[in-house]
Structure 1
Amino acid sequence: MNLSVVSKSMMRLASKLMALPSKLMTLALTLSLVSACSSLPPPQQLTPSHKLAAPTDSGLYRYLEGDLKAHPNKTGFLPLSSGVDAFVARLAIVDAASQSIDLQYYIYHDDETGRLLIWHLIDAADRGVRVRVLLDDLTTKTLDDGLVLLASHPNIEIRLFNPSYERTFRSFAMLTGFSRLNHRMHNKSLTVDNQITIVGGRNIGNEYFSKNDDVDFGDFDLLTIGDVVDEVSDQFDRYWNSEQVESVVNLVPPPTSEMYKEAAKIMARNKQNFLHDEYLNRLELSELLTQITSKGLAWYWGDAQLLYDPPQKASRQGHQEWLLTDLSQFLGKARKEVLIVSPYFVPTDGGCQALIDAAKQGIKITIITNSLAATDVLAVHAGYKAYRERLLENGIALYEVKVDINNRPSAWKGSSRTSLHAKTFVLDRASVFVGSFNFDPRSAWINTEMGLIVDQSEFAGELVDEIQKSLKRSSYRLDLNDGELIWHDDLKGQVYYADPDASFWRRFMADFIGLLPIESQL
Structure 2
Amino acid sequence: MNVVMRAALAALLALAAGGCAGLGAVQRAEAQRIAEAARDTALECDDPVGRCARESPLRALASRAYAASTPDAPRHYALMLDYGQDALLARLDMIRSARESIDLQTYIFDEDDSGHLILDELLAAARRGVRVRMLVDQLSALRNVDTLAALVSTHANFELKVYNPVLGRARISYPMYVAAAACCWRQLNRRMHNKMLLVDGIVGLTGGRNYQDKYFDWDSSYNFRDRDILIGGPVTREMQANFNAFWIAPLSIPAAQLADVGRRLLRTGAPQMPHEPFEAPDRVAAVSRQADDPLLLGHRLADAVLAVGEVEFIADTPAKHRPGQRALAPSTGRLRALIESADAEVLLQTPYLVLSRPAQDMFRALHAREDGPRVVVSTNSLAATDSFITYALSYKYKRRYLREFGFNIYEYKPFPQNAPIDLDATRGLDPGWDLAMAGEADAGTRALAGIDAEHRDDARRSGPLRVAPGAGDSGPPPGQRTQQQRLPLDREYSALRYAGVGVNRPVPLRRAGLRFGLHSKSLVIDERVGVVGTHNFDPRGDNLNTESAVVIDDPAFARALAASIRNDMLPQNSWAIGPRDKAPVFPGLDYSLGKASERLPLFDLWPMRYATSYEFVPGPACPLPPPPDHPDFRACHRPVGDFPEVSIGLKPLLTRIVTAFGAGLAPIL
1:8 matched residue in structure 2: none
- Residue 304 of structure 1 corresponds to 311
**Shift of residue 287 of structure 1?**
13
Q: CA deviation at 1:504?
A: 4.4
Aligned-partner residue type, residue 212 of structure 1: D
TM-superposition CA deviations, 1:393-436 (whole Å, max 9, x none): 2432011111226554549x998521100000110101011111
Stretch deviating more after TM superposition (357-366 or 316-325): 316-325
Structure 2 counterpart of 1:69, from 67, 76, 94: 67
Amino acid at match of 2:306: W
Kindly indicate whether residue 457 of structure 2 is the aligned counterpart of residue 358 of structure 1: no
Matched, 1:219 2:226: yes
Partner amino acid for 2:573?
S
Change (3 A) 1:312 1:438: same
The residue correspondences of 1:13-32 to structure 2 (distance < 5 A) are: none
CA distance in 1, matches of 2:402, 2:326: 36
1:378 corresponds to 2:388: yes
Q: 1:490 and 2:616 equivalent?
A: yes
Question: Contact (CA 8 Å) 1:81, 1:221: kept in 2 or not?
Answer: yes
1:86-235 counterparts in 2 under 5 A? 86-140=87-141, 142-152=143-153, 153-164=155-166, 165-166=168-169, 167=171, 169=173, 170-175=176-181, 176-235=183-242
1:417 aligns with 2:515: yes
User: Is 2:527 aligned against 1:429?
Assistant: yes
Number of the residue aligned with 2:86: 85
The TM-score normalised by the length of structure 2 is: 0.65
Hey, what does 2:297 align to over in structure 1?
A: 292
**TM-score (normalised: structure 1):** 0.82
In the aligned structure 2, how far is the partner of 1:430 from the partner of 1:405? 28
In 1, Cα distance between the equivalents of 2:133 and 2:99? 14
Mapped to 2, the partners of 1:456 and 1:63 lie a distance apart of 18
Shift of 1:285: 5.8
**Separation of aligned partners in 2, 1:409 and 1:459:** 18
CA deviation after TM superposition for structure 1 residue 467, in Å: 2.6
Is the 2:89–2:290 contact (alpha carbons within 8 Å) kept by the matching residues of 1?
A: no
CA distance, structure 2, for counterparts of residue 131 and residue 137 of structure 1: 19
Q: 1:245, 1:261 → 2: CA distance? A: 23
Cα RMSD for the two superposed structures: 3.0
What is residue 573 of structure 2 aligned with on the other side?
Answer: 474
Amino acid at match of 2:156: P
Question: CA 1:135/1:374 → structure 2, altered by over 3 Å: closer, same or farther?
Answer: same
Shift of 1:302: 2.1
Which of structures 1 and 2 has the bigger CA Rg? 2
- Write out per-residue CA displacement over residues 63-102 of structure 1, whole angstroms, 9 at most, x where no aligned residue: 6434443454222210000000001111110011011000
SS in 2 for 1:102: strand
Distance in structure 2 (CA, Å) of the matches to 1:340 and 1:63: 29
C-alpha distance in 1, partners of 2:208/2:214?
Answer: 12
- Counterpart contact for 2:306–2:557, Cα < 8 Å: no
Unaligned runs of 5+ in 2: 1-26, 34-48, 423-443, 449-512, 583-590, 592-609, 619-636
- What residue identity is the alignment partner of 1:157? E
**Residue segments in structure 1 that go unaligned for 5+ positions in a row:** 1-38, 46-54
Partner Cα distance (1:498, 1:275) in 2: 42
CA contact (8 A) 2:412 2:568 kept: no
Which whole-Å CA distance do the structure 2 matches of 1:460 and 1:141 have between them?
36
d(CA) in 2 for partners of 1:372, 1:444: 23
CA pair 288-308 structure 1, distance change in 2 beyond 3 A: farther
Query: Is structure 2 residue 543 aligned with structure 1 residue 445?
Result: yes
Cα distance in 2 for partners of 1:63, 1:498 equals 47
Aligned to 1:398: 409
Change (3 A) 1:463 1:62: closer
| Corresponding residue number in structure 2 for 1:503 | 647
Alpha-carbon spacing, 1:461–1:173, altered in 2? closer, same or farther (3 Å): same
One-letter amino acid of the counterpart of residue 419, structure 1? G
**1:188 Cα shift?**
0.2
Shift of 1:309: 1.3
CA deviations on 1:465-512 (whole Å, 9 max, x unpaired) are: 333244222111111132632311116754223221123444433221
**Distance (whole Å) between structure 2 residues aligned to residue 283 and residue 460 of structure 1:** 32
* CA-CA distance at 1:455 after TM superposition: 0.6
Question: How big is the shift at 1:179?
Answer: 2.0
- Preserved contact between residue 85 and residue 287 of structure 1 (Cα < 8 Å): no
For 1:210, the aligned partner's letter is D
Per-residue CA shift, 1:328-366, capped at 9, x if unaligned?
112111111101100011114442232132123231110
Q: Does 1:281 align with 2:286?
A: yes
Q: Which amino acid aligns with 1:474?
A: N
- Letter of the structure 2 residue corresponding to residue 382 of structure 1: A
1:244-259 matches, cutoff 5 A: 244-251=251-258, 252-253=261-262, 255=265
Report percent identity of matched pairs. Answer: 27
* Equivalent residue pairs, number: 470
Which segment is superposed worse, 105-114 or 489-498? 489-498
1:300-379 alignment runs, 5 A limit: 300-315=307-322, 316-317=324-325, 319-361=327-369, 362-379=372-389
Kindly indicate whether residue 665 of structure 2 is the aligned counterpart of residue 518 of structure 1. yes
* CA 258–245 in structure 1, closer or farther in 2 if over 3 Å, else same: closer
CA contact (8 A) 2:196 2:205 kept: yes
Partners of 1:308 and 1:62 in 2: CA distance:
26
Q: Distance in 2 between matches of 1:373 and 1:119?
A: 35
